[in-house]
Amino acid sequence: MTIKHRLIISNILMIVIPVLISAIIIGAGQYLSYQYWKNQYDKTSSIYDVPDKIISVATELIRDPQSRKAAEKQQLEAYLQKNHMRLAVNDFKTHKLLLNMGNTTIDSGGNLLQAIWSLNGEGSAYVGNDSVYSKKSIVNGNIYVISTFSSYLDSSSSDDSYYNEYNSLITLFMILFGVGILVTIFFTNRFLTYFVFKRISQPLGTLGEGVQQIRDGNLDTRIRYASKDEFAAICHDFNDMAEQLKQSIQLIHRQEENRKELLASISHDLRSPLTSIRAYSEGLLDGVASTPEARHKYITMINTKAEDIDRMVAKIFLFSKMDMGDYPYDPELLDVNRELESLIRATTEEYRSKGLDIQLDLASESTRIFADPLQLDSIFTNIIENSLKYKDKERGMIRIQTMVHHEQIIIYMTDDGPGVPEQSLSQLFDVFYRSDPSRNNPNKGSGLGLAITAKAVERLGGSIKAMAAPSGGLRIVIRLPLIRQEEGQ
């Protein structure tokens, strides 16, 4: 689950949970209120709450006063006193009062009863806060008027006490309700904060540990994060960063080693011609070359070695410029086949005289590229020169073949020389590298030619690779991006 989804759920629950708890509390309050009034009703209610029931009991008392239990009479008396009521039984004919129970002060003046007599002994009447309900009852052939009187003078006090108690309970309930809502919001907020923050703190801690490992130099550390949330991309980027940082450090170390090797190689390759120059110059100074022919030979050798040094320094300067990207580069639309034909036509006799034959096998398709003509020629020239220097026969041969494949031109340059050991093929384009580990033959070259060639091919957006030729020699494979027809127009 993503952090975004957790936030959405958290916001929804932050509303739903308090509302749900509020509904539960309100429901509980209503239930408690119902129970309160039910209990109050149960406490105060009686079978005598219905006036007809009182009249029925009074009728039984008239019919057989001796058979009625004293407890029931006392119960009726207590009910009448409690509810501020009065029970009166009169003879219908004589109006004589036969039974008087309860609060006898009610209608002590007889006004309500007088109203009942005017209603022929049955009905209801009200005077002020007092009321009466009367009904005729025939017992043993005699007619009786049974009346129940009620007074509302003091009844409100009892109700007020109930309502005051109820209001106190409502106030307490509202306080508890508010406290409950606040507690619910607090704990809901704490839970939801943990619910969301846990998914943030854990990956942040993991990232922090990874950063500390990188800081301490452990570039092999990687973060394993299985969750599919927003931190997954960050952890993936962290791993990519760690890998790139490791590669950058390794590259810096390799460059430092290359720099040291470059200085050692320059020192080694310059020492041989300088030693020769020093030896021949000392021979001239010591008079070893006593004849004009000998002196001319010594001077010629000094000049040759100086030219070797000059060429070597020029190649070092060229490689440094290309490595820094500061070398002039003026690309134009060129046809590779045409450039090869022109180059070989101009140099084929020179190479033939040195014992190297060149064979061309060019593709029929268009082979147009964007390139600097001088750098393109130097690529082919350096490879041909390398084959010439390392040929082990009186007459060597190099075959140059071009073919078009998938928007690329592929150039194969294959010689019939001694070849290069398999383990040395990948290092052939390194600076100052020679397949001869002893490096005792500096006349074979400085080892910069193929390194310069690789830089030039890289600058053209292509690739170069060395492999063993089927015939046993060396094959150089160059791939360069072609220009489409519409781009070249």
- Comparing 350 with 307, which gets the higher pLDDT? 350
Give me the mean pLDDT over the 329-358 stretch. Answer: 90
Give me the mean pLDDT over the 380-390 stretch. Answer: 89
Q: What is the mean pLDDT of the chain?
A: 80
Q: What is the C-alpha separation between 319 and 339, in angstroms, rounded?
A: 23
147-156, 259-268, 408-417, 425-434: range with highest mean pLDDT: 408-417
- Span of 312-321, 385-394, 463-472 with lowest mean pLDDT: 312-321
Give me the mean pLDDT over the 358-387 stretch. Answer: 89
- Span of 34-43, 87-96, 183-192, 468-477 with lowest mean pLDDT: 34-43
Whole-number pLDDT of residue 477: 94
From residue 228, how far is each of 56, 225, 232, 233, 431 by CA, in Å? 82, 8, 6, 9, 47
pLDDT of 411 above 70 = yes
Whole-number pLDDT of residue 38: 64
Whole-number pLDDT of residue 409: 93
Give me the mean pLDDT over the 159-168 stretch. Answer: 65
Whole-number pLDDT of residue 258: 67
Give me the mean pLDDT over the 337-359 stretch. Answer: 91
Per residue in 229-267, pLDDT tens? 777 888 888 888 888 888 888 888 877 876 776 677 677
Give me the mean pLDDT over the 164-168 stretch. Answer: 71
Whole-number pLDDT of residue 439: 36
Q: Which residue has the tokens 């160059």?
A: 478
| 3-class secondary-structure state, position 113 | helix
User: In one letter, which amino acid is 408?
Assistant: Q
- Comparing 134 with 62, which gets the higher pLDDT? 134
99-108, 179-188, 311-320: range with highest mean pLDDT: 99-108
Whole-number pLDDT of residue 355: 92
Whole-number pLDDT of residue 246: 87
- Comparing 323 with 335, which gets the higher pLDDT? 335
pLDDT of 436 above 50 = no
50-64, 85-99, 430-444, 445-459: range with highest mean pLDDT: 85-99
12-16, 187-191, 392-396: range with highest mean pLDDT: 392-396
Give me the mean pLDDT over the 179-203 stretch. Answer: 76
pLDDT of 481 above 70 = yes
Whole-number pLDDT of residue 404: 92
- Span of 71-85, 209-223, 318-332, 360-374 with lowest mean pLDDT: 318-332
Whole-number pLDDT of residue 153: 55
- Span of 114-118, 151-155, 302-306 with lowest mean pLDDT: 151-155
Give me the mean pLDDT over the 149-160 stretch. Answer: 62
From residue 41, how far is each of 123, 151, 453 by CA, in Å? 28, 20, 109
Q: Are 373 and 333 in contact (CB under 8 A)?
A: no
b/e 201-238 (16+ beta carbons within 10 angstroms → b) = eebeebbeebeebbeeeebebebebeeebebeeebeeb
- Comparing 270 with 104, which gets the higher pLDDT? 104
From residue 96, how far is each of 90, 144, 202 by CA, in Å? 5, 10, 97
The continuous run of DSSP H or E covering 399 comes out as strand 396-404
Whole-number pLDDT of residue 423: 82
Whole-number pLDDT of residue 43: 56
Q: How many CB atoms lie within 10 A of CB 362?
A: 16
Q: What is the C-alpha separation between 256 and 251, in angstroms, rounded?
A: 8
Output the pTM of the full model. 0.46
Q: How many CB atoms lie within 10 A of CB 349?
A: 9
Share of the chain above pLDDT 90, in %: 14
